[in-house]
Amino acid sequence: MMGSLPMGGSVPETPIHAFTEVAEPLVFNDSNNLNSIRTDIDLGGLLAFSISNVVTASEANAIIEATERFGYRDEAPGISTPPGMRMNKSVHWVADDALTQPLFNRISAFLPEHINGVPLYPRLSQRINMYRYDDNDIFNRHTDGDWPGYSLDESRTVMHEWRFGIRSALTMILYLNGPEDGVQGGNTRLLDVNGFWNDVVPTKGSALFFRHGFSSASVIHEGGRVHGPVPKYVARINVMYGSD
């Protein structure tokens, strides 16, 4: 797809990746006895919360390794951001059900059953937007758009767009490393209704959730600047709402 560059401009045919077959290190179990806990974040009425222990350290490391094999790039496929907003590296990929369905099963009990009267869809979009923040990288304040769901077709060579009235309503930011790995900075900052920032420290294996889409309910946020030699890795995953 056409890819957008951090300081403006575009690159044609920026790839979206997939494995030619299911990668064994990315086959997750439904539970792993992670003892997850949901913690709500007070933004003055806006919906935001975190869930601890969504993936294990080894699972997080496997995702990082997989996406480094794909190769991070300056350009991001299929999205458009103003110059100077997204100042990090990106790789997009379409994961398998063997990864995304267990992730959903681990978190589903903590997710809102309905948003604006629309029911939770029992699958996560399999298109995952990965971001790597190197030294001095930042994602300046913005709101996330809403998206259709995506998955691989049977040939594993085509990204299939879901067209059944199913649309994302929540951003899931899965933290794949954090201060315990040497990451300096990189807090996710959420803006509350009174104009104050609320900082969420990236914790390896945990996930942050908040409303998205271009409405007054969407949470303005930024990915804080990272310092030092250890990059921060996050996966943005879309939580879907709607029904077939």
Characterize the bridge pairing of strands 188-191 and 221-223: antiparallel
The answer to whether the beta carbons of residues 223 and 234 sit under 8 Å apart is: yes
Predicted local distance difference test score (pLDDT) of residue 127: 97
Characterize the bridge pairing of strands 226-227 and 184-185: antiparallel
* Euclidean distance between CA atoms 34 and 51, whole angstroms: 11
Reported pTM: 0.96
**Comparing 192 with 244, which gets the higher pLDDT?**
192
* pLDDT score of 164 more than 90: no
Q: Give pLDDT tens digits for 56-90.
A: 999 999 999 999 999 999 999 999 999 999 999 99
For 116, counting Cβ atoms within 10 Å of its Cβ (0-12 exposed, 13-18 middle, 19+ buried), the class is: exposed
The answer to whether the beta carbons of residues 12 and 86 sit under 8 Å apart is: no
In percent, the amount of the chain with pLDDT more than 90 equals 95
103 secondary structure, DSSP code: H
* pLDDT score of 111 more than 80: yes
Q: Which two tokens stand for residue 110?
A: 């903590």
The answer to whether the beta carbons of residues 170 and 212 sit under 8 Å apart is: yes
* pLDDT score of 179 more than 90: yes
Domains, in order of start, for the chain? 3-241 (2.60.120.620)
* Euclidean distance between CA atoms 18 and 180, whole angstroms: 30
Which pLDDT band holds residue 32 (cuts at 50, 70, 90)?
A: low
Q: Give pLDDT tens digits for 208-234.
A: 999 999 899 999 999 999 999 999 999
Q: Give pLDDT tens digits for 117-146.
A: 999 999 999 999 999 999 999 999 999 999
Predicted local distance difference test score (pLDDT) of residue 214: 85
Q: Which of 3-7, 78-82, 134-138, 197-201 has the lowest mean pLDDT?
A: 78-82
Of 68, 122, 125, which is closest to residue 95 (Cα–Cα)? Answer: 125
CA distances (Å), origin 206, targets 19, 174, 178: 25, 6, 10
